[in-house]
Copies of this chain bind each other. A is one copy, B any other.
């Protein structure tokens, strides 16, 4: 048996994925809209949502809603929650915990170049070994110098690519990382050699986000791991519908935007 069975639940048959990040509570106090989105999960799945990144607490308190979608368990959490420049992460749960709750994979962060690089790399290393032993895919969110974009370097495709590859060499099966928006983003995908999900994107309206996602797919991304662009949008299900058009059906950003505005 291999990890393929579980990977086929995170990614659709076309090898692409719209993954919803609901795990913000472990890193930030800016969590508006997450509980609201959790309650609408079935309609998001209807619009094409493939997978959700969730916390352990949600699995205890939103059981029924989460049954509707394949889940990946966030296994690290910040230990400085009121300061979210570089989250100081610690391992919260294990691969075995993920198996117990029926998750299809686990996700953790690494921060190459940040003050806590060693701690995050050690965490990822240990998880990679356990994930391989249990045939559970590991998503590593490898963010150079920390969580937000704090310098040219932390948004430089060359640096992002090096950070992604380091995570792959430690055993990551999937990379979740930022894209800069430039044509050099292709390097990130090439360096990784494993599927890459794009996070983040501009805060300039849903049309800008659709344009960004289209760019990421052109660069070779296998989809998105999207948080606030869904949870803080007034119409989460419509954002998913738009993403579905771009990611699974090859639509243009304009088509996606029309879909979003329709009805």
Contact = CB atoms under 8 A, between A and B. Distances in A.
A171 B94 CA distance: 14
B121 A169 contact: no
Nearest to A172: B57
Contacts of A93: 125, 129
Given A90-B118, A97-B129, A77 B170 contact: yes
B117 A80 contact: yes
Contacts of A117: 79-81
Contacts of A125: 77, 90, 92-93
A82 interface: yes
Contacts of A163: 81
Interface residues of A, number: 44
A82 B165 CA distance: 13
Interface in A52-95: 55-58, 60-61, 77, 79-82, 88, 90, 92-93
A260 interface: no
Contacts of A82: 112-113, 144, 159, 162
Nearest to A24: B169
A210 to B, nearest CB: 30
A149 interface: no
A168 interface: yes
Given A61-B193, A112-B82, A77 B169 contact: yes
A56 B170 contact: yes
B166 A118 contact: no
Interface of A: 25-26, 29, 31, 35, 55-58, 60-61, 77, 79-82, 88, 90, 92-93, 97, 112-113, 117-118, 121-122, 125, 128-129, 144, 159, 162-163, 165-166, 168-173, 193-194
Given A25-B169, A79-B122, A82-B159, 19 more contacts: A25-B166, A26-B169, A31-B162, A56-B170, A56-B171, A57-B165, A57-B170, A58-B169, A60-B171, A61-B168, A61-B193, A77-B121, A77-B166, A81-B117, A82-B113, A82-B162, A90-B121, A93-B129, A97-B129
